[in-house]
Amino acid sequence: MGDNAILKRRRRELIVGAVLLIVLAVLPLPIESVYLRGLIVLTLLYAGLSQGWNILGGYCGQISLGHALYFGIGAYSSTILYVTLGIPPTLGMFVGGALAALAALLVGWPCFRLSGHYYAIATLVISQMFLLLASNWNFINASMGITIPFRTQSWLDLEFRTAILPFHYVMLAYVAVVWIIAWFIEGSRWGFYWRAVKDDAAAASSLGVRIFSSKMAAAAISGAVTGVGGALYAQYIAFIDPDSVLGLSLSVLIALPAVVGGVGTLWGPLIGAAVLIPVQQLSASWLGGSGDGADLMIYGALIVVLALARPQGLVSLFGIRSQAGGAVVDRA
């Protein structure tokens, strides 16, 4: 028992992950619809983004409502490097990730001294501030945004004309890498420390856990992952503007799949994205555009129903141990 139970669970997670990877690799092949293929690409992107958010918000318990900032930094850095200097986005995304990590550290440095909800509010305000700055900053074309011109088909530049399938594999690779990062963190000293910080900071520090640096490390990794996602998104859509890559609604969209799926779990963000992103996109295309916001009402209602029915996150449907939510609910 004991260590065997943990090791067995971790091995099982790897096997399920590998099977899922194969299924997702084959999934788009029989699908003809461009719309549906695009939907899956977005779902994969948000699964990765939300898993990235989960590293800080789920494992370490620091709820960020400003992850759009890191996403935007990644999107803008890679795009500007590509458009003005011709540096390939496959390289630029790492620059974007690094800058996003740096931004997460700069936000964390003053804000992790705040407790509880104040951190969430601070991240929200800071990201909104940068939305305004970006909207008026001429160097990045202000609110007009930047269109990424098509040059030549290339994996190095992540340019595929109108083909969606290559982006399916790009995003799948992204999710897989983020998932593996989360898997490693779960089994490592860092992962244990971050969860301890989330559960009870005073007890954690009595066991030798450095609270502040734990939060900073989680923020840096989470920010980097989000920044890379922003760069990939920019190449996929080929157009970015402050509203689409720095807006509050994006911050919420990044956090929601993890929250609905199950915070602090390996599978929660994936399951959450698989449910939420299609519902959001489909309801928007069926009901949206009429100007009455019916799609948002349905989307909002769904989230309320899910939160009421499965407060521990959708992962609990599968009998997967849900960490944070589970304990909170059962304690009540």
Partner 1 sequence: MPEPILQLRNVSKSFGGVAANVDVSFDVARGEILGLIGPNGAGKSSLFNSISGAVAPDRGEILLEGRRISGVGAVACTQSGIGRTFQVVRSFDSMTVLENVMVGAFARLRGSHEAMAKARAMLEFCGLEARMDRPAYMLTPPEKRRLEIARALATQPKLLLLDEMLTGLTPTEAQGGVQLIRDVRAQGVTIIMVEHVMEVLLPLIDRAVVLHLGRKLTEGSPAEVVRNPDVIRAYLGDHYAAV
Binding residues (CB under 8 A) for partner 1: these are 1-3, 5-6, 187-189, 192-193, 195-196, 198-200, 202-210, 264, 321, 323-324, 326-328, 330-331
By C-beta, is 213 or 285 nearer to partner 1? 213
Q: How far is the CB of 203 from partner 1 (least distance, A)?
A: 4
CB of 12 to partner 1, least distance (A): 14
d(CA 27, CA 44): 12
Minimum Å distance from CB 196 to partner 1?
Answer: 5
Tell me how far, at minimum, the Cβ of 9 lies from partner 1, in Å: 10
SS3 content of the chain, % helix, strand, coil (to 5): 75, 0, 20
CA atoms 106, 216, 127, 70: torsion sign:
positive
Rank residues 113 and 210 by Cβ distance to partner 1 and give the closer one: 210
The rounded distance, in Å, linking the Cα atoms of 200 and 42 is 36
Q: Are the C-beta atoms of residues 240 and 79 closer than 8 Å to each other?
A: yes
9 or 288, CB closer to partner 1?
Answer: 9
> Please, where are the H alpha helices in 3-154?
3-26, 34-54, 67-85, 89-111, 117-135
Nearer to partner 1, 138 or 206 (CB): 206
- Nearer to partner 1 (CB atom), residue 201 or residue 279: 201
CB of 193 to partner 1, least distance (A): 7
Q: Which C-beta is closer to partner 1: that of 141 or that of 312?
A: 312
- Quick one: 106 or 207, whose CB is closer to partner 1? 207
DSSP conformational letter for 57? I
Q: Which residue type is seen at 223?
A: G
71 in Cβ contact with 230 (< 8 Å): yes
Q: Of 3 and 32, which CB lies nearer to partner 1 in the complex structure?
A: 3
Q: Are 101 and 223 in contact (CB under 8 A)?
A: yes
Tokens 């080929």 map to which residue? 238
Tell the smallest beta-carbon distance from residue 262 to partner 1 (Å).
Answer: 11
State the DSSP code for 138.
Answer: G
Shortest separation between residue 207's beta carbon and partner 1, angstroms = 5
CB of 197 to partner 1, least distance (A): 10
Cα 60 to Cα 196: distance, rounded to the nearest angstrom: 8
Please provide residue 147's backbone torsions phi and psi, each rounded to the nearest 5 degrees: -95, 135
The alpha carbon dihedral of 209, 215, 216, 222 has a sign of positive
